Amino acid sequence: MVETIQWIDDAVVMIDQTKLPLEETYVTCRTYEEVARAIRDMIIRGAPAIGVAAAMGVALGVLHAGERDLDRQVETICATLAATRPTAVNLFWAIDRMKRLYASLRGAAPAEVRRRMVEEALRVREEDIAICREIGRNGAPLVPDHKTVLTHCNAGALATAGYGTALGVIRAAIESGKTVDVFADETRPFLQGARLTVWELQQDHIPTTLITDNMAGHFLKSGRIGCVVVGADRIAANGDVANKVGTYSVAVLAKENNVPFFVAAPISTLDLTLESGDAIPIEQRAAAEVTHVYGRQMAPTGTAVQNPAFDVTPARYVSGIITERGVARAPYEESLRKLMG
């Protein structure tokens, strides 16, 4: 399995997801600023992976911080990392977790603070892998045998510390003996499906077919697709799901064609402080991602562009939310609260 993010010799090493699938190269971040840049530039992406990177970024920042006025430095480190991407709540969840640990270490010797912060970041990574395995175990029974699973974007090993959420469910279904193949939406404009999902499933020899996003309706109508499984960047208290732009269209088409639409995500993706998906901040990205493909201009110079990176799928389209603690079903206000504990 691919190593998405590791802590090696007091540095954070990530596979460069902007270069896949043509090049398998690794980026080494030695400062928290470099980690922040890697998140912003999408060298690492996917909600859980962003959370792990942020935790390691905070640890790296504390490791290299001077001993004077450490509190203020920690504030700056956390604020810098928090300003990278707005939608995936795992980023803020991980930073808060690191902040809470730091606050609990008040009065401890500086060397002890540094050691404990690094240990915690490594724990966030290890836990993420275990959580993905649990999500897989809980989701595998929902995947129909001898059918195709449609997915959108990349919610795989590359989007987590390993194994994946949506792709973890597919992996677990196959490990449980089911015969499953995958249709991957290419996921314009950043092409996470074409570049990342297809690449990582090929590494695991999972039969995968690439389709363009606008083909999803055609195949959902065909009877070939047994279910849709996608990841999430933030889930509101009512079960509305923010995920990669295009997810909403897939969900509506799935419902229209009576195909179950599942969301696989860790509990850290729940944001029960938000009543509905309307309050989820949606990242707007550069126009060039839409007007250009691989650096080549496709649209007339000066074209007006909108480029929201995520959309919100209303809870009524979601057949179930698969977490490490079980599968939540509608009404989500109750089921998600119960899972949250």
From the CB of 157, what's the least distance to ligand MRU, in Å?
9
Q: How far, rounded to the nearest angstrom, does the alpha carbon of residue 305 sit from its chain's CA centroid?
A: 25
CB nearer to ligand MRU: pick between 12 and 88: 88
For residue 28, the 8-state DSSP code is: E
| Opening angle at CA 161, ends 159 and 166, nearest 5 | 45
Burial of 187 by CB count in 10 Å (0-12 exposed, 13-18 middle, 19+ buried)? buried
Residue from 4, 84, 138, 160 touching ligand MRU (CB under 6 A): that is 160
Contact indicator for 213, 153 with CB cutoff of 8 Å: no
Q: Tell me which residues in 23-52 interact with ligand MRU (CB under 6 A).
A: 45-48
From the CB of 129, what's the least distance to ligand MRU, in Å?
12
Instruction: Write each residue from 79 to 98 as x if it is in contact with ligand MRU (CB under 6 A), else as -, in one continuous string.
Output: ---------x----------
Residue from 159, 174, 216, 251 touching ligand MRU (CB under 6 A): that is 159
CB nearer to ligand MRU: pick between 46 and 118: 46
From the CB of 155, what's the least distance to ligand MRU, in Å?
4
For the annotated catalytic residues, the residue numbers are 233
Q: Is 232 in the site for ligand MRU (CB under 6 A)?
A: yes
Q: Is 193 in the site for ligand MRU (CB under 6 A)?
A: no
From the CB of 186, what's the least distance to ligand MRU, in Å?
13
Any long-range contacts for 198-204 (C-beta under 8 Å, 24+ apart)?
Answer: 198/21, 199/20, 199/21, 200/2, 200/154, 200/156, 200/157, 200/158, 200/164, 200/167, 201/156, 201/167, 201/170, 203/1, 203/2, 204/1, 204/171
Q: Is 151 in the site for ligand MRU (CB under 6 A)?
A: no
CA distance 208 to 212: 13
CA distance 259 to 251: 9
Q: Is 243 in the site for ligand MRU (CB under 6 A)?
A: yes
CA distance 68 to 274: 38
CB nearer to ligand MRU: pick between 48 and 139: 48
Number of residues that bind ligand MRU (CB under 6 A): 17
Residue 90 structure tokens: 């795992």
CB nearer to ligand MRU: pick between 30 and 325: 325
- Taking alpha carbons only, the member of 131, 126, 64, 120 closest to residue 96 is 120
- List residues near ligand MRU by CB under 6 A: 45-48, 88, 153, 155, 159-160, 165, 192, 231-233, 243-244, 309
